[in-house]
Amino acid sequence: MTKRQKKSKLRVGGFPIREVRPGCFLVRVTRQEQRLKVSQTFPTQAAAEGFCKVLANQVAEHGKTALELPIRSRQDAIDAMKLLSGRSSLIEAARFWAQHHPDTGAVTLAQLCDQWLEELRRQNCRPTTLAERRQKIRKLCLAYGDRPACTITTHDVADWLKIRGFKAVNRDGYRRCYRALFNHAIQQEIVETNPVDRITKTKADEKMPEFWPVPTVANVMDIAEQHYPALVPVLAVMLFAGLRPGEAAALTWDQIDLAEKIIRVLPETSKVRRSRLVPIQKNLEGWLVPKYKAEGLVAPRPMTYRRQRESLMRRIEADGWQKAMTAGKITVEDAVARVHEKAPKLAKVFTAERLRSILSGKAVAGDNEAAALCKVLEVSRLIWPRDVTRHTFATFRFADTQDGGKVAAELGHVGGADILYRHYRGLATQKDARKFWAIAPCAAAGNIVKFAVAS
């Protein structure tokens, strides 16, 4: 059997051309770095020779590296540069594409959030801060949780903030939280850049601190003493010692020294991680002495505290409803009829007997009932603004002492007295302050005012 005779080779520009069969001319190019041999066929010898001459010119101009990129890829690069029109380099465009089309093992936003919260726990972050961070990032995860964290863009976060319609202060709080989240992602090499860095802070007019006037404070403490005695000590230290909610929640009875008349706020419970001593005023002593214990927390458990605080607010609102009904000569039956007209869904459950029970304190109004009553009786809903107890203390303590440095030290303000002079000067008079510091338990002051139930 005779061996098949190989076709003779022709070399053009240093590249071999072989006729493998009639009408098929093969050109084989070796790519040294990739250790590959790439072949291409042509229908005529002239076409193959022309291709070899083009390759020879490229090698002469760019060296052997010209052969490492296929012709198709070189054409794609030319087309890509035309699309970019000088706005970016090919490598920058490639990095952007790779970032937004990660492999299946990329860390999702939900996983990133879990990692960050765990890191905050390891850093001994305060429980209140952890809760606030968790609440904010969970909202973002509802929109983008399944997406790889590296694909989240500035537009994604900015559009999300815009859709929510946050006011300036709230929006900036979310912006700072998400910026910290992606800074952690950069440290862990999950993302290369922080998409929140380019979102600017919203400018807003500075607002004066919200505080409760003396009658509201007296009403809160009186009703708490009557119906929610477990709340009295924690409300007292927040209103009359200026402790932050987190500090009051972690305060133990052994940190209250009635003999020395001081409260010790420890670094491990302080927001700013610094200890301080807060003097116990005479009226605060009156609220604490009857409730004093040898050990344990001053505040109820968090869930109990929130539930009882909500019920306390409803009872205070009921006091306002009673006053409005008395002033407007509105009977219980008239009030119920108005509620049924405004809120038909309550018609079966909200009866005259139910309203009498609410006004007498035997029952607590539900949220829908409270909203309807406030609407028909034209009474404002009682709200509990953030840090209102602390602002109330600062307002009346500053009015009493006129010493910003002293009050700042008691509050644990790291910024010193400047914030006191800027925010709290002139909010209350010394006469108001004397009334505030005279708020004492009913046994000592007899300051409970009871209202008869309207018929």
What is the reported pLDDT for 451?
31
- Torsion over CA: 286, 288, 290, 294 (sign): negative
Q: Which residues pair with 257 in a beta bridge?
A: 262
User: How far is it, in rounded angstroms, from Cα 228 to Cα 309?
Assistant: 9
CATH architecture of 109-187: Orthogonal Bundle (1.10)
What is the identity of the amino acid at 170? N
pLDDT for the residue 455: 35
- For the four alpha carbons of 213, 215, 221 and 224, in that order, the dihedral sign comes to negative
d(CA 127, CA 50): 75
d(CA 34, CA 11): 23
Residues 6+ apart with CB under 8 A from 380: 320, 374
pLDDT given for residue 446 in this prediction: 44
Write the CB contacts of 37 (distance below 8 Å, at least 6 apart in sequence).
Answer: 28, 29, 30, 31
DSSP 355-403: HHHHHHTSS---HHHHHHHHHHHT-PPP---TTHHHHHHHHHHHHHH--
230: closest CA among 175, 283, 290? 290
pLDDT the model gives residue 63: 65
Nearest to 232 by CA among 248, 247, 211, 246: 248
Give the alpha-carbon dihedral of 234, 239, 242, 246, to 10 degrees: 40
Distance CA 184, CA 114 (A): 12
The Cα 89–Cα 65 span in angstroms is 20
8 A C-beta contact, residue 239 and residue 217: yes
Inter-helix orientation angle 404-411/388-401, to 10°? 150
Q: Which three-class secondary structure state does DSSP give residue 24?
A: strand
pLDDT of residue 134: 94
CA distance to 214, 221, 238, 310, 340, per residue, from 323 (Å): 18, 19, 28, 20, 21
Task: Answer whether 418's CB lies under 8 Å from 265's CB.
Answer: no
pLDDT for residue 362: 81
Residues contacting 104, CB < 8 A, separation 6+: none
Per-residue pLDDT of the chain (455 residues), as tens digits, is 555 555 567 888 788 888 888 888 888 877 655 555 677 888 888 888 888 888 787 777 666 555 556 666 666 776 777 787 777 787 777 677 666 655 556 889 999 999 999 999 998 888 888 889 999 999 999 999 988 898 899 999 999 999 888 888 889 999 999 999 999 999 998 888 899 999 988 876 667 778 889 998 998 999 899 889 999 999 999 999 999 988 999 999 999 999 999 999 988 877 777 889 999 999 999 999 999 998 899 999 989 998 899 888 888 888 889 989 999 899 999 999 999 998 888 988 899 999 999 888 788 888 888 889 989 998 887 778 888 999 999 999 988 988 888 888 888 877 666 777 666 766 788 999 999 999 999 754 444 333 333 33
